Structure 1
């Protein structure tokens, strides 16, 4: 048996959709159903988009640039042809209890069609596995708590440049001498989308960790170090390190960034935890110094070790 939507009395919901109650069709049907237009439901949103991050359909914010070739809409679970509802379906439709904030739920089927067609033939969307789901009156503001729960994961996935690490002297240094390390890292900004909402993120470097490659490390520390003039190389600094052994060591700098984010141009909100981003290993070769005494200077013996043009012997 089918029942036409015109037989229902209507209760207006936010967004202009209507809800019809089972009392309008008889006491045997206690489940509520939703009224609709031929183009589908519009509950709290004028358009819906597929969010690439979560794979669900969410409201599109104002000014959203949609690059998806498809359009999406929700239709009552029990809708059949010509805008009718199947009466036998109503009693067994998916229950959608109100949310904690009291907003009512509606059992719907999501459908998809090419966006280039004005009055398309809709087919059931299988991105959620198909079948009925509960749709609530939603708008971009309703998504803020969910965005807050996803922001840390998205922050950690950003292509944040961890900074540049420099060693003095480099690429060779001496065993037992202080090698000065310093970092160069800058504040960075990113624009992304979460649940189809425009998110602006600012990442600011706040701490640094140095892994010197010989099993020792420094940090996290707020000190990023600083360059020394060449005549002061070998001095101990807040980020310098003296290697006890010779060899090649891979130095890694990890920069900790603190982030803030804003949704659709709203106020800046803090991202709870710091993001950690590491540089590629930089090789530092540690040599040992050798002292030799010579009887002649380079004028007397121009081919002596240490003189211009002489063969250089390196000790490690």
Structure 2
């Protein structure tokens, strides 16, 4: 990310002037603290990386690691020199690494719609029977501004976690489930759940989105890690079923137990 040299008076690294020969036997460069190369970042590292607050003069900082290698030695390998430390440099070429260092936090704060929970049957189901749940989630796009630059973000759903409200959690896993025709309700599916007790439960879907971003209409770059977003809870009432024999059918006795309009048993 550009050659630098150590300024003994300022006691900091500064961009090297290619027209001025250096007496330092080493040359230096910096990399973002949690950068793994290309568009990849160490996600656990991002959570604890150095916080570079803006300086009083308004300069914005990025957390970096400094690397060094012997100057003019063919095949010399870059090795860790120092850091992490904050780099304050107002040059335009530093905007991209600064955006890269902050894009994951920006992504998690976007108003991404986690989708909608659909249950079959709903709003009532039976104890011990398989209730089919599936998600309706879609790709979303956002335009934001970072450091005065136009950044286009695309969020794509990739994983789903189901909390069925009775203490059972399934996921994260890649299946969003799918709709069943009514004559197949009660079948076990990848995302279905059978409740062991009756009652009212709140089903919560958490959708994990993978993101990409592009700066000023540039190429799409991967956002490290994933953003997790929760959908509004879906209420489901679980009832119990009883099998009884009756002398009359509902045509003969419309008020008989189990006939339409007659209270069910919970």
Query: Could you list the per-position Cα deviations for residues 175-207 of structure 1 after superposition, in whole angstroms to 9, with x for gaps in the alignment?
Result: 000000001111111010111111110111111
Residue aligning to 1:246: 198
**1:146, distance to aligned residue in structure 2 (A):** 1.2
Aligned-residue CA RMSD (Å):
2.6
Would you say 1:315 and 2:229 are equivalent positions?
no
Would you say 1:265 and 2:217 are equivalent positions?
yes
Distance across 1 between alignment mates of 2:231 and 2:257: 39
Taking structure 1 as the reference length, what is the TM-score of the superposition? 0.58
Asked if 1 retains the 8 angstrom alpha-carbon contact of 2:59 and 2:89, the reply is no
Query: Could you list the per-position Cα deviations for residues 275-311 of structure 1 after superposition, in whole angstroms to 9, with x for gaps in the alignment?
Result: 0001121111000001222112234333322345x5x
Distance across 2 between alignment mates of 1:132 and 1:195: 11
SS at match of 1:201: strand
Question: Residues 137 and 295 from structure 1, CA distance in 2 versus in 1: closer, same or farther, beyond 3 angstroms?
Answer: closer
Distance across 1 between alignment mates of 2:58 and 2:168: 57
Question: Residues 313 and 282 from structure 1, CA distance in 2 versus in 1: closer, same or farther, beyond 3 angstroms?
Answer: same
Asked if 1 retains the 8 angstrom alpha-carbon contact of 2:59 and 2:90, the reply is no
Residue aligning to 1:102: 16
**1:136, distance to aligned residue in structure 2 (A):** 4.5
Residue aligning to 2:231: 279
Structure 1 gap segments, 5+ residues each: 1-30, 32-94, 104-126
Instruction: Flag as ranges the 4+ runs of structure 1 deviating above 6 A.
Output: 130-135
SS at match of 2:172: strand
Residue aligning to 1:237: 189
Aligned residue-pair number? 198
Structure 2 gap segments, 5+ residues each: 1-8, 18-53, 61-86
More strand by share: 2
Higher-Rg structure is 1
Residue aligning to 1:305: 257
Question: Residues 206 and 132 from structure 1, CA distance in 2 versus in 1: closer, same or farther, beyond 3 angstroms?
Answer: closer
Question: Residues 288 and 274 from structure 1, CA distance in 2 versus in 1: closer, same or farther, beyond 3 angstroms?
Answer: same
Distance across 1 between alignment mates of 2:196 and 2:59: 67
Residue aligning to 1:138: 91
Residue aligning to 1:157: 109
